[in-house]
Structure 1
Amino acid sequence: MASLALTAAAASVAGAAYLNARLSLEHDVVFARIFGRAVIKLIRASRAGRVNLFYVLEEHAQSPATAQRPFLLFEGAAHTYAATYDAVLRYGSWLREMHGVREGDVVALDFTNSAAFVFLWFALWAVGATPAFINHNLTGAPLTHSLRASAATLAIVDPRLEAGLTEEVRGELPAVRFVVFSPEVEAEAAAAAPARYMDEVRNVESYVGMAILIYTSGTTGLPKPAVVSWGKIYMAAMMAVKGMSLKGNDIFYVFKCMPLYHSSASCIGVASVLFAGAAVSLGRRFSTKTFWKEARETKATGFLYVGETCRYLTVTPAEIDPVTGENLDKKHNVRIAMGNGLRPDVWDKFKERFGIDTIFEFYAATEGALGLWNLSRNDFAKGAIGRYGVLSKAFVASRSAIVRLDFETEAPWRDPRTGFCQRAHTGEAGELVVQLPSDDVGARFQGYFGNSAATDSKIARGVFRPGDAWFRSGDVLRWDGVGDGRLYFSDRIGDTFRWKSENVSTAEVAQALGTHPAVLEANVYGVQLPHHDGRAGCVALAIDQPLASEELLASLAKHARDNLPKYAVPLFLRIVQDVGLQNTGTNKQQKNGLRNQSVDPAKMLGDSVFWLRDGTYAPFGQKEWRAMEGGDVKL
């Protein structure tokens, strides 16, 4: 009997393992944990009238179990939940009594990462106001535009950014009061009497109400203030809490390449730590030289990345202990890295070099109506932005679709007979669209503050049936071709270019080139050329040697031909001096400036340019450019 029982148990285990492998049930469990927990917390908070996250901070600060637990680590100081709560009450009192801030007001915060930023942010929530997070890299007209778009009449500014408050900026905004949060002003706020105002000032009518204004990157125009709802913060935070299994003893590391003005750092980083009762370690400045040192010092168990961050860490020289000679790459407590933008060509290199057990890659947009994620402990789903079991994939597919795209118009393709869009086949790239309630799109997409035209431009109507409404992501995605529940990012619509009647994905070309051993970073884009239709492929390359030798150029050409279809092989190379030179403040590659410079040698700012000739890359200078301008060259 015992042997029969053991045999049955073994068969049961084997059967469960088979079903899990066949249907990816573990990913259904992760999905249920994330989505279910977010919904439950949101319903409970709504019923109690406590959707405002101020109450989560208050609960931890007043609980004996968490009050003295660190919440915020910054520049050597540890701020407990109780101390943070006290600071928030004082700052809130200062805002209300000294500056007349009232419930419903929008107050702009122009700050670098700091404890003061977090205190002011939660203090605004404490008095029922809404913070507008200004990108601290902005100056001049973009700064003026961002402040004006927020409709704020009070802007609190980091003293490190005071130089940006020029006479022109102030003159353009006569209705805005600027308060530079100098050490003297900070001391004044900290000395205010702590006041907890009545719950009525924090009343939230609906979880779709505005919690924060966070701006788009502005890479294709001036930044737009996206309305971030309370519900979106709950969902983003639970994605991290349950996806990464955050516990109270975890320390989540957020640094300068993840500025708090960005939704990943604020809505995912800080908010998830708050819900988990854990600690967040803030850094003011990102440096590959000090990153792991700071991670070790703070005993961080996880960190947040974005864009090319992991690439920059991977291509830096190993850190060696000057006393013992030991390689310190794996001397840390980090077990998981969460973020978006980790490319397949870096995925395994990063994990193996630094001994990272788990990658939690996600896909989301500040103004987006759907988030996706891929919890990965192996290389089966490397590079995927989403991975789901059979049940969770069905749920995602019921809320979203990938539709065929007209790359000429950069709009979803519509059948000329029916006028409706068509779903892309499995393995076929198309635009991700997310279904919205046709009679109340604001329930899932709150749009851009004070900009109905921009909001409407993101909504497509009559996609599959008359009157339906779908959010346009602007991103080209594809489900994997074998039906394993993996979802991959192909490109931004504006980045994909057309050459020789073929659509070229800049992301896919960059991934292919990034596997060449000499390539540190590849930024791919299409350029317009005189007397040519479409856009020719060009790549700005950072390489691991000071000059591009003939051997390297030939090797790069062969690598491109071997790994890409003929139409996608870049016709031009631009060798740049270092990694990250075309990046935003969040380490995301920018292409607009490079596109506008085309391959005109006079606009290369000292960079060397090469073009594909006779199977290799050869120098491209003024002589060749003039020949192209004269119509003497046909590619």
Structure 2
Amino acid sequence: MSLPSLPDIPLGLALPAAATTLAYLNARWSLFYDINMIKSLLKMSIKARFAERGDRMSFFYVLENYALASTTRDSTFLVYNGRSYTYHETYLMALRYGSWLKKAHSVQRKDIVAIDLMNSSTFVFLVLGIWSIGAVPAFINYNLSGKPLTHSVRTSTANLLLVDEEVRNCFPPEQLKTFASPDFRDGKGPVEVVFINPEVEAQVLELEPVREDDKVRSGVSSRDMALLIYTSGTTGLPKPAIVSWRKCWSGTLFTGNWMHVTPSDRLFTCMPLYHSSAAVLGFLMCLMNGATVIIGRRFSARNFMREARETDATIVQYVGETLRYILGVAPEIDPVTGEDLDKKHNIRLAFGNGLRPDIWNGFKDRFNIPTIAEFYAATEGTSGQWNLSTNDFSAGAIGRNGAIGNIIFGRGTAIVDVDFETQEPWRDPKTGLCKKVPRGDPGELLYALDATDPAASFQGYFKNSKATEGKIVRDVLKKGDAYFRTGDMVRWDADGRWFFSDRLGDTFRWKSENVSTNEVAEVLGSHPEVHEANVYGVALPNHDGRAGCAAIVLNQQIASGTSGPVLEPSRETLNSLAAHALNGLPRFAAPLFLRVTPEMQATGNNKQQKHVLRTEGVDPSLVSNHDRLYWLQGSSYVPFEQKDWNRLTGGQVRL
């Protein structure tokens, strides 16, 4: 029996019908979006594999290829402080700095060189120069001083520290004396501190740009260390996270393809280069894709869009509250023509992480920027989430995917229930395994690892196996598996959108930095007047993240034997507490608020209780009248009263 023939459909009707069907499927399942993601992943994988096979993993070769090719050597790679450098000029500067490091400071292959520099062209030249001689740069946060600075340099194992002249104030005589101690590096000698100033830069310019033989860069595998970038983590002091060559290649190739970056693009960033966002996904992403990176010295909300406009940026980079601060600046109007200068630019895309949903569309609308490229990742992490958003559907999401992506991400991730008492993934008492949360519910995000070889994708923390192993959880969905713990609560909804819920545990985020309550409490607790300190983050009106608050019990209260109204600290004690906190902690981690209390709130088993303190925050109307609130103004703690809270609530104070 023959099948009935299908009716002939005119081509003029068939094509629109097919297009309509394809459009529907794309809208329903985000097919084109997933295809772009998959193409980006494939290109990344293929190029990185060829580089490893050809023993060309070092990004020095990426620079060299652009610098020596006749079609790209004169293209602009770097713009800083009004000065432009071509790929070839950058290459010559990298060779000069490499020669200087080798001749003047005896830096050898695989040595680690610590860099404590603010954003500048010199930062870029030094990184590329270090790679040109086969060494490894370690990025030190230039805001650090005292104990955090000492710890960061010591854990890098570097015997050479290059410091920006502008942050010399973080290096008082006692700090330099500490670095000069023969025992500083566990008996391996002192650290040589070199301040990068105009005289040093002039010496470098006089050197010949000597290219070292390939053997100094040979034998590098994808999992070898390319960079050390510090993260506050959850254990207190900064930890050096190993950024492998694989992560550099995957991050720069994927983001470039995902955002369709071409050599005509110009990315403007004034985010700190000591962070992976600006360094890997900004500076190195432009290098990998033949684009131009425009570097700002430091962030200024008032000047950000003006500088992006004047440098013809096509992409701007943000982190955390950056775009909120920019929105807080009054609109810029041309005084002659009355033209809205906020919309007069060439920016096609804003790229970064931490953009809050409440200002997402407000920023796009005010500045007429069509696309937000939001991502979620961690310096030490193994993967990330990505959201290239041009409409309201995915506004506020940290990532998204369609039907195909569901299959891919579903295999590589797990969102599991959490035991909030232990702050660990919840486990079934019978099986000992974790439990996935229902789609759309919040849970801790985990990324799958090779259980037999976790270091294939997670290199962890430099010379800190305990911290590294602490980020790995095993026997999650089946016996013998392994996952990387992000420590973050996320939601993955039925439409393929990923949303950030909260940071697991006590660590809170302020000024785009993670702040460890344990680290802050340890510093405060070492003050001679403090009996006990309980540190937590508090939500503030009109501010993102959480500000640091420390509930403290003073020794004078204990000595008095009273548990009634608090004995108010003297002005000398308050000044001393402020100086102690600012000396022992980065500025962003020093508590903005103190809650002096007669006795500490605790659970039945004598664990510090934070929940009630967090809930009350620093609203004087909610805080017990037995307690006293203070806030950090300049370099001193002064009383924080209802009128101050009202100013915060009214948006008249920006912390």
Which TM class, normalised by the smaller chain length? Answer: 0.7 to 0.9
Tell me how far apart the structure 1 counterparts of residues 48 and 354 of structure 2 sit (CA, whole Å): 29
- Deviation, structure 1 residue 327: 2.2
Q: Is the 8 A contact 2:164 2:197 kept in 1?
A: yes
Q: Is the 8 A contact 1:310 1:342 kept in 2?
A: yes
Tell me the residue number matched to 2:531: none
SS in 2 for 1:226: strand
Decide which moves more: 416-425 or 617-626.
617-626
Tell me the residue number matched to 2:641: none
Tell me the residue number matched to 2:541: 541
Q: Deviations over 1:489-536 (max 9, x none)?
A: 10110259xxxxxxxxx99xx9xxxxxxxxxxxx9x9xx9xxxxx999
Q: Is the 8 A contact 2:253 2:289 kept in 1?
A: no
- 1:7 matched to 2:18? The reply is no
- Deviation, structure 1 residue 325: 2.8
Tell me how far apart the structure 1 counterparts of residues 308 and 124 of structure 2 sit (CA, whole Å): 20
Tell me how far apart the structure 1 counterparts of residues 161 and 589 of structure 2 sit (CA, whole Å): 31
Tell me how far apart the structure 1 counterparts of residues 23 and 587 of structure 2 sit (CA, whole Å): 41
Tell me the residue number matched to 1:597: 594
Tell me the residue number matched to 1:471: 484
Tell me the residue number matched to 1:485: 496
Decide which moves more: 441-450 or 185-194.
185-194
Tell me the residue number matched to 2:280: 267
Q: Deviations over 1:421-480 (max 9, x none)?
A: 011110111101111111111001000001111111111111122222111111111111
Tell me how far apart the structure 2 counterparts of residues 619 and 419 of structure 1 sit (CA, whole Å): 46
Tell me the residue number matched to 1:550: none
Distance change (3 Å), C-alpha of 1:10 and 1:612: same
SS in 2 for 1:304: strand
Tell me the residue number matched to 1:236: 251
Tell me the residue number matched to 1:330: 343
SS in 2 for 1:261: coil
Tell me how far apart the structure 1 counterparts of residues 287 and 405 of structure 2 sit (CA, whole Å): 27
Decide which moves more: 234-243 or 14-23.
234-243
Tell me how far apart the structure 2 counterparts of residues 46 and 247 of structure 1 sit (CA, whole Å): 24
SS in 1 for 2:99: helix
- Deviation, structure 1 residue 191: 1.4
Q: Deviations over 1:391-411 (max 9, x none)?
A: 122111111110101111110
Tell me the residue number matched to 1:39: 45
Match of 2:398 among 378, 381, 385: 385
SS in 1 for 2:241: strand
Q: Deviations over 1:371-426 (max 9, x none)?
A: 11001100101111111121122111111110101111110000111111011110
Please give the residue correspondences for 1:420-459 in structure 2 after superposition, counting only pairs within 5 Å. Answer: 420-459=433-472
- Deviation, structure 1 residue 245: 0.9
Tell me the residue number matched to 1:187: 202
Counterpart amino acid of residue 452 in structure 2 = D
Tell me the residue number matched to 2:131: 125
Distance change (3 Å), C-alpha of 1:621 and 1:23: closer
Tell me the residue number matched to 1:607: none
Distance change (3 Å), C-alpha of 1:591 and 1:106: closer
Please give the residue correspondences for 1:47-58 in structure 2 after superposition, counting only pairs within 5 Å. Answer: 47-58=53-64
TM-score by length of 2: 0.78
Counterpart amino acid of residue 178 in structure 2 = E
- Deviation, structure 1 residue 623: 3.2
Q: Deviations over 1:103-123 (max 9, x none)?
A: 110000110000011001000
SS in 2 for 1:373: strand
Q: Is the 8 A contact 1:433 1:471 kept in 2?
A: yes
Decide which moves more: 460-469 or 359-368.
460-469
Tell me how far apart the structure 2 counterparts of residues 29 and 411 of structure 1 sit (CA, whole Å): 35
Quote the RMSD (CA, aligned, Å). Answer: 2.9
Q: Is the 8 A contact 1:220 1:592 kept in 2?
A: no
SS in 2 for 1:478: strand
Q: Deviations over 1:107-151 (max 9, x none)?
A: 001100000110010000000000000001001111110000000
Tell me how far apart the structure 1 counterparts of residues 243 and 423 of structure 2 sit (CA, whole Å): 26
- Deviation, structure 1 residue 612: 10
Distance change (3 Å), C-alpha of 1:218 and 1:477: closer
Q: Deviations over 1:327-348 (max 9, x none)?
A: 2111111110010111111111
- The alignment covers a number of residue pairs equal to 537
Q: Is the 8 A contact 1:241 1:276 kept in 2?
A: yes
Counterpart amino acid of residue 143 in structure 2 = N
Q: Is the 8 A contact 2:97 2:204 kept in 1?
A: yes
Tell me how far apart the structure 2 counterparts of residues 319 and 599 of structure 1 sit (CA, whole Å): 44
Tell me how far apart the structure 1 counterparts of residues 56 and 416 of structure 2 sit (CA, whole Å): 39
Tell me the residue number matched to 2:154: 148
- 1:494 matched to 2:505? The reply is yes
- Deviation, structure 1 residue 166: 2.4
Distance change (3 Å), C-alpha of 1:42 and 1:537: closer
- 1:90 matched to 2:96? The reply is yes
Match of 1:199 among 208, 214, 221: 214
Q: Deviations over 1:19-56 (max 9, x none)?
A: 11121102211211221111011011011110101001
Tell me the residue number matched to 1:176: 191
- 1:400 matched to 2:397? The reply is no
- Deviation, structure 1 residue 61: 0.4
Distance change (3 Å), C-alpha of 1:323 and 1:48: same
- Deviation, structure 1 residue 192: 1.3
- 1:365 matched to 2:382? The reply is no
- Deviation, structure 1 residue 323: 2.4
Tell me how far apart the structure 1 counterparts of residues 590 and 421 of structure 2 sit (CA, whole Å): 18
Tell me the residue number matched to 2:226: 211
Q: Is the 8 A contact 2:58 2:220 kept in 1?
A: no
Tell me how far apart the structure 1 counterparts of residues 596 and 91 of structure 2 sit (CA, whole Å): 55
SS in 2 for 1:424: coil
Q: Is the 8 A contact 1:611 1:619 kept in 2?
A: no
Aligned-pair identity (%): 47
Q: Is the 8 A contact 1:611 1:618 kept in 2?
A: no
Counterpart amino acid of residue 593 in structure 1 = P
SS in 1 for 2:541: strand
Distance change (3 Å), C-alpha of 1:335 and 1:276: same
Tell me how far apart the structure 1 counterparts of residues 333 and 596 of structure 2 sit (CA, whole Å): 41
Tell me how far apart the structure 2 counterparts of residues 484 and 65 of structure 1 sit (CA, whole Å): 44
Tell me how far apart the structure 2 counterparts of residues 323 and 125 of structure 1 sit (CA, whole Å): 50
TM-score by length of 1: 0.80
Tell me how far apart the structure 2 counterparts of residues 8 and 623 of structure 1 sit (CA, whole Å): 76
Tell me the residue number matched to 1:63: 69
Q: Is the 8 A contact 1:243 1:360 kept in 2?
A: no
Match of 1:623 among 617, 625, 628: 625
Distance change (3 Å), C-alpha of 1:621 and 1:457: closer
- 1:226 matched to 2:241? The reply is yes
In structure 2, list runs of 5 or more residues that go unmatched.
Answer: 1-6, 182-189, 522-533, 544-581, 599-612, 629-655
Q: Is the 8 A contact 1:214 1:366 kept in 2?
A: yes
Counterpart amino acid of residue 468 in structure 1 = D
Tell me how far apart the structure 1 counterparts of residues 459 and 115 of structure 2 sit (CA, whole Å): 21
Tell me how far apart the structure 2 counterparts of residues 455 and 47 of structure 1 sit (CA, whole Å): 28
Tell me how far apart the structure 1 counterparts of residues 542 and 34 of structure 2 sit (CA, whole Å): 40
Tell me how far apart the structure 2 counterparts of residues 410 and 101 of structure 1 sit (CA, whole Å): 44
SS in 2 for 1:597: strand
Tell me how far apart the structure 1 counterparts of residues 96 and 346 of structure 2 sit (CA, whole Å): 35
